[in-house]
Amino acid sequence: MEKFNPYHQHLLLRCWATNPPKKVEELNNWFINLVENVGMKVVAGPTSVYVSDPGNEGLTGTVTLATSHASIHIWDNLELPMVQFDIYSCKSFTLEQVMECFESFGLTRAEWIMIDRNSKPIITSEGVWEKDN
What would the pLDDT profile of 83-103 be if each residue is shown by its tens digit?
Answer: 999 999 989 899 999 999 999
Question: What CATH class is the domain 9-130?
Answer: alpha beta
pLDDT(133) > 70 = no
Mean residue pLDDT of the chain comes to 92
Q: Are 131 and 108 in contact (CB under 8 A)?
A: yes
pLDDT at 64: 96
Q: Where are the domains of the chain?
A: 9-130
pLDDT at 71: 97
Angle subtended at Cα 41 by Cα 4 and Cα 106, rounded to the nearest 5 degrees: 125
pLDDT(122) > 70 = yes
Residue 105: pLDDT band by 50, 70, 90 thresholds? very high
pTM, to two decimals: 0.89
pLDDT at 107: 95
